[in-house]
Structures are given as C-alpha cells and as structure tokens.
Structure 1
C-alpha cells in the first residue's frame, strides 16, 4: 500500500488541506494508500513513498536528503488543486512503473 505524507510548517493547516484533497484524488483513482499529515520538522520520523508539500518545505526536506529521498518529494504549486495532485501522483507512479491502478 502506498504511504503518502503531507507536510507543512505547523502540521495543521495546509498539510491537512493537502491531505483532504489528496484523499479525494486517491479515492477517485482507486489507489489504496495510507495518508497522513505532519510538520516539516517531524517528517523524517515517518516512512513514506511520497511527500506532498510546497516548495519552501520541499527545500528543507531535501537539503540533506539522499537522491532517492529527494525523488519522493512532490512540490505542489496550488496546494489543494486536485488536478495538479492527480497529475503529479500519476506521473510519480508511472515513472516508477508502480502498478496500483488502471489509469491510462
């Protein structure tokens, strides 16, 4: 099962909004996933396949990260835009040949 983490500064506002939008997208695509939200400072304590966040926090998360850890960070420009979230999750999964859904 796919594990997705939504990250913001305080772990309450924008990360929760991202989580709600991403949950709707995953349900639409019928992708089984565990999804959670947290602060940028606590994100390292979570094991996840994907991290959804904005550029400011992506820069912090990837500053000392390995190449593989960097690849799992998806930067959102419009945090609750379901179309953007869908496009980026689908692209992420296709790039890695992950077959968790039939979306062509």
Structure 2
C-alpha cells in the first residue's frame, strides 16, 4: 500500500505530515506501507492508494482517489484516528 501526503504549494507541510504519518504507522504496528509527499499540482491518481491532505485542499484533491482529510494538519491524534480507521476499513489492521 502507498500513501501520498499532498499540500498546496510545495513540500513544507506535506513533508511534516509525512513524518507524522510514519510515526503513526509505527504506533499502529502497520508495516509495508510506503509514504511520500508531493504538491497537489504534481499529484496524480496513480501515485498512491490513499491520499492525505488538509481540509482546505479536499475539494481540489477529490479527483485523485481515496482521501483522508485532516481538519487540523498539526493534530497527531486526529491523524492517528483517521489513518487507523482507514487501515481497519481496508483490512490492513
């Protein structure tokens, strides 16, 4: 499985979220999941199985594929809950 974190203009916030996703995956003991980051303009639907973004980009990112939309990109608890729920839904956890 592959996840791609996208942000609006570059790589700053998406890189930070990528690091947090990797920490969350460790906490959840989820293995074999690749995580990368990109700007929204460069992202394509074939780049990942699951896309992660802030709510400000949800509409623009909706065409990419399955989304995890974060209300607060700095809230690691929200990230862990939403990633955990999505992985359980997919049968990964």
Larger Rg: 1 or 2?
1
For the aligned pair, the TM-score class normalised by the smaller chain equals 0.7 to 0.9
- Give, in angstroms, the shift of residue 83 of structure 1: 1.1
- How many residues were matched structurally? 92
TM-score, normalised by the number of residues in structure 2: 0.86
Alignment pair present for 1:89 and 2:88: no
Q: Is the Cα–Cα contact under 8 Å of residues 28 and 84 in structure 2 kept in the other structure?
A: no
Residue number in structure 2 paired with 1:7:
6
The alignment's TM-score, normalised by the length of structure 1, stands at 0.78
**Aligned-CA RMSD value:** 1.8
The answer for unaligned runs of 5 or more in structure 2 is none
Instruction: Trace 1:19-34 onto structure 2 (pairs within 5 A).
Output: 19-32=18-31, 33-34=33-34
Report the 3-state secondary structure (helix = DSSP H, G, I; strand = E; otherwise coil) of the residue aligned with 2:61: helix
Alpha-carbon spacing, 1:37–1:46, altered in 2? closer, same or farther (3 Å): farther
Q: Would you identify which runs of 4 or more consecutive aligned residues in structure 1 move more than 4 Å?
A: none
Query: What residue is the counterpart of 2:69 in the other structure?
Result: 75
The Cα offsets for residues 46-90 of structure 1, whole Å up to 9 and x where unpaired, read as 52121110122221011xx38xx2xx1111112132211111011
Q: In the alignment, what sits opposite 1:49? A: 49
What secondary structure sits across from 1:74 in the alignment?
strand
